[in-house]
Structure 1
Amino acid sequence: MAGPTTAERGERQQESPDPPLARRLRPPKLRTIIILAVVLVLLGAGSVWLLYGSQWLRVERVSVSGTRVLTPEQVREAAAVPVGAPLISVGTDEIEARLRRKLPRIDAVDVVRSWPHGIALKVTERTPVLIVQKGGNFVEVDDEGVRFATVSEAPKGVPALELSVSRSSSAAASLRRFGEARLVREAVRVADAIPSAVARDTRTVKVRSYDDISLELSGGRIVAWGSGEKGAAKARTLTALMKASPDARHFDVSVPTAPASAGS
């Protein structure tokens, strides 16, 4: 009896699926799905317990860096980090807001979880560029015009800010137009622009109006600066003017393209 022809064998092979491929395409058994689901639930529950319920990942220490005037103890007290709480539950934004509110001297702070047991507080303090005398104390003003701290002793090398707005119509108009806060910011702009060699000798930044700001240097020398505009040009002009007239007592750079000096 003759066997199947070649054509018949080809047709049977096309009709028969590939057994290995069929096994690969079979859906997982219900038991396998249940086991995987149980494993995932256990892993999730274990992770939650590890982060919130165990004693392994809790706050044990609070480190402070970057302080200059403030002490680490002051920062820790103001931060009020909940020692013993789960590290994952500590609100870093809340700590930052609390530090800024309680310690205005802080300009910026980075609150970092230091796994497995720490909170790191990286502080940047404000730097005074001017001081305002208030009774027997001194108010520190930073480079943004923010009055951030009152101290009993004036910091060395920081000039005093003197707001001496006269009762003249122009000065009064300037005060009404710009306000005291704006005049303080203009004084800060001037203080930032003063050449470093001159800054060391600057004792007072005096503001009479928006465009009438002057510097009082050591030895009774006076610099008429004008407004806070064109600070870089005025700084260069003042440096050259003081070199050209080292014995002068009065310098005027309010118009940097037409400077003047006088006195000896």
Structure 2
Amino acid sequence: MRRPAPIPASEEQARQPVPSEPVRQPVPLRGEASESRDHDETAPLDPIDPTGSAEAAQVSGADVWRAARARRRALRAEIRRFTSRSRRRRTIWLTSISLVVLVVVGTFAAAYSPLFAVEDISVEGAKTLDPQKVEQVLSGEIGKPLALVDDSAVKSALMSFPLIETYALEVHPPHGLTVRIVERTPIGVLRTEAGYTLVDAAGVALATTDARPEGQPLLAITGGAGTPAFESAGLVVRSLPAEVRAALTDVRAATPDSVTLVLKDGKTILWGSAEDSSAKSVILSKLMAKNPKSRTFDVSSPTVPVVG
């Protein structure tokens, strides 16, 4: 069937321009759009797919945040690496100080506790004294912590023994206390109204008896104890050889330079002063060995001894 011919337009309509139809561009699919973006990153996004710009902005923010966090971590790691030595040194110091404090506190707590109380007192160095008597006067210290032993109380108790010249306390944890004493060395006896008084080189009275003690020489010192002559005589007696000291019966001195010794067999020793007593002792021993029958030995001048 044939299509009829169009109706001819009027003259006015023929003069009017015919509007041209807009040319539609083909709409690419998603795959094609992403492919075109891959080929041309500068091309604008498809206005029909508005989510593309949001996803790009979202990915960019996450990357920035992750990069900032990684940078902070790296910075902290560098700080820890550069300060590790000082932190280690500070840790060692704090640990050491803590240990010292703990040890000191623990030591003091233990020392002042009943765990370290005195239970046994021993006396050493006693030759003339009875150690049991010394231990008895110190029994008041039993039960006290070792750190609280009263030295003044011990000294007061030991003053009742004039024969004790010096003493020292030794602590033996957990319960031991040792008293080391040094006895005075008697040099002879002085005749007094009360009898015979045993004295040491300092003139301290050690004991007084009615009868003259055996083995102790009689001291005939002008002025008695506390004089220069007595001091000189005391030094001489303490420096004598053992064999001479055992045979000594009398010590006489009117002045510090006139000390004279008398032995049991009647031999007389002119000693003089206390100076060079060590040399005089050696010379006297040699003279007595070479001259057993001599009765007088003068060593007042050790360089020129005289035998009579």
TM class by shorter chain equals 0.5 to 0.7
Matched, 1:81 2:172: no
Count how many residue pairs are aligned between Structure 1 and Structure 2.
227
Alpha-carbon distance in structure 2 between the residues aligned to 1:146 and 1:73: 27
Match of 1:130 in 2: 188
CA drift of 1:148 comes to 4.1
2:125 aligned to 56, 59, 66, which one? Answer: 66
1:56 is paired with a residue whose SS is: helix
Matches within 5 A, 1:104-119: 104-119=162-177
| Unmatched runs of 5 consecutive residues or more in structure 1 | 26-36, 166-174
2:204 alignment partner in structure 1 = 147
- Worse overlay, 189-198 or 235-244: 235-244
Name the Cα RMSD after superposition. Answer: 4.0
Is contact 2:228–2:255 with CA below 8 Å preserved after alignment?
A: no
Offset from partner CA, 1:134-188 (integer Å, 9 cap, x none):
356433333x4242411436555433321146xxxxxxxxx9xxx8432222002
2:178 corresponds in structure 1 to 120
CA distance in 2, matches of 1:237, 1:116: 52
More displaced, 216-225 or 191-200? 191-200
Distance in 2 of aligned mates of 1:55 and 1:196: 49
What is the DSSP-based 3-state SS (H/G/I as helix, E as strand, rest coil) of the residue aligned with 1:219? Answer: coil
**Aligned equivalents of 1:71, 1:194: Cα separation in 2:** 27
2:163 touches 2:184 (CA, 8 Å); kept in 1?
yes
Residues 82-101 of structure 1: pairs in structure 2 closer than 5 A = 82-91=141-150, 93-101=151-159
What residue is the counterpart of 2:221 in the other structure? 163
Q: 1:70 to 1:239 in 2, by over 3 A?
A: closer
RCO comparison, higher one (Cα < 8 Å, 6+): 1
Deviations 1:2-35 (A, max 9, x none): x99xxx99x947963119939x87xxxxxxxxxx
Over the matched positions of the two proteins, sequence identity in percent amounts to 26
The structure with more radius of gyration: 2
Any conservation in 1 of the 2:268–2:297 contact (CA below 8 Å)? yes
Distance 1:47 1:164 in 2: 58
User: In the superposition, relative to structure 1, how do residues 261 and 58 fare at CA in structure 2: closer, same or farther (>3 Å)?
Assistant: closer
Instruction: Tell me if structure 1 keeps the 8 A contact 2:188–2:216.
Output: yes
Per the TM alignment, residue 107 of structure 1 is displaced from its structure 2 partner at its CA by 2.0
Question: Taking structure 1 as the reference length, what is the TM-score of the superposition?
Answer: 0.67
Matches within 5 A, 1:1-264: 12=71, 16-18=75-77, 21=80, 52=112, 55-91=114-150, 93-135=151-193, 137-142=195-200, 144-152=201-209, 156-164=214-222, 180-262=226-308
TM-score (norm 2): 0.59
Structure 2 counterpart SS, 1:190: helix
Alpha-carbon distance in structure 2 between the residues aligned to 1:89 and 1:245: 61
Structure 2 CA distance for partners of 1:251 and 1:76, relative to 1, 3 Å? same
In structure 2, give the amino acid aligned to 1:227. S
